[in-house]
Amino acid sequence: MTEADEHAVPDYPTLLRLDGRGFVVIGAGQGIGRQTAHALASVGARVFCVDLEPERAARVAREVGGLPCSGDARERPAVERMIAEATQALGRIHGIVDIVGMARFADFLDIRDEDWDWAFDMVLRHAYLAAQVGGRAMTASGGGVLVFVASVSGLSAAPRHAAYGAAKAALVALVKSLAVELGPRGVRANAVAPGVVWTPRVSASLGEEGRKRNSANTPLGRVGRPADIAGAILFLVSDLSSYLTGQTLVVDGGVGQKFPYPPV
């Protein structure tokens, strides 16, 4: 005899709400970071907007009714100050979203030591600091959630992406370790791995021809928008994903699922 399903049905729309919760967005000044700040604020979160450029942090904070902060997220004293100021301003940090990252591309045989070190500094060091300093704050106050922006370059290979891809792969591995170590203390950790996203920086680098080429290569027929990634981040920080940790969610329009047959 089959037992009756007596599990309560949750009010699913409310699981997306973040009313009154405090979030730190590192790299909030433009692109994915700006859209993430807006996404969080739209469902009731209080947003602490961090950017290297004070003007950008202030502008986005005004847009979302949040609080601005500037500093270099690769420096421990700066991150400790950010988390302390966020804790004081928000009362409690419920989540940290780290979107910082830049890339330099070169043939592997031409990569210089300083370029290799730069890639890991720009991709990984700030994530380590945000997770450690922010993780201490969240475990001390009842738990929370960490979300990082990785890349499809950390999951598969592309020419001239060796340093960037290796650093992003390390970030994916870090997320898994954070999930295992911090999960018992109430902190979830996940990542989003975007494909080509048309941020201001990417637009300036690739131009209109680059947009057309990447759109044609994507099963969904377009490049990603910053809001596409912000939507995935919103899911990962919300209670809709309360049983999800240690994962990297690929948001690439289906590019990674294509077998690269040569053009007919």
Asked whether residue 6 is domain-assigned, the answer is: no
CA distance 74 to 129: 7
- Read off the pLDDT of residues 8-26 as tens digits, 9 standing for 90 and up: 999 999 999 999 999 999 9
Over 70: is that where the pLDDT of 256 sits? yes
**Residues paired with residue 23 on neighbouring β-strands, in sequence order:** 47, 95
pLDDT at 73 over 80: yes
pLDDT tier for residue 263 given thresholds of 50, 70 and 90:
low
Task: State the pLDDT confidence band at 204, using cuts at 50, 70 and 90.
Answer: confident
Look up 243 and say whether it is catalytic. no
Residue matched to tokens 């970030």: 171
Average pLDDT over residues 135-158: 96
Pick from 189, 208, 186: which is nearest to 198 by CA?
208
Catalytic annotation, pick one of 128, 164, 243, 261: 164
Where residue 158 falls among pLDDT bands split at 50, 70, 90? confident
pLDDT of residue 145 exceeding 60:
yes
Contact call for residues 203 and 211 (beta carbons, < 8 A): yes
Q: Is residue 258 part of a domain?
A: no
Full domain range(s) for residue 237: 19-251
pLDDT value, residue 205: 84
Query: Phi and psi (nearest 5°) for 90?
Result: -95, -15
Domain count for the chain: 1
Question: What CATH number did the domain enclosing 95 receive?
Answer: 3.40.50.720
Kind and range of the H or E run holding 214: helix 200-216
Give the pLDDT confidence of 241-255 residue by residue, as tens digits: 999 999 999 999 999
Q: Residue 264: its pLDDT value, please? A: 61
Both tokens of residue 165?
């891809």
168: three-class secondary structure by DSSP: helix
- Edge-first strand listing for the sheet containing 67-70: 67-70, 46-51, 22-26, 95-98, 144-149, 187-194, 248-251
262 occurs within a structural domain: no
| Residue pLDDT, tens place only, 99-108 | 998 889 999 9
pTM score, two decimals? 0.95
What pLDDT does 170 receive? 98
Does residue 10 sit within a domain?
Answer: no
pLDDT > 70? residue 1: no
Q: Closest by alpha carbon to 227, among 30, 23, 63, 61?
A: 30
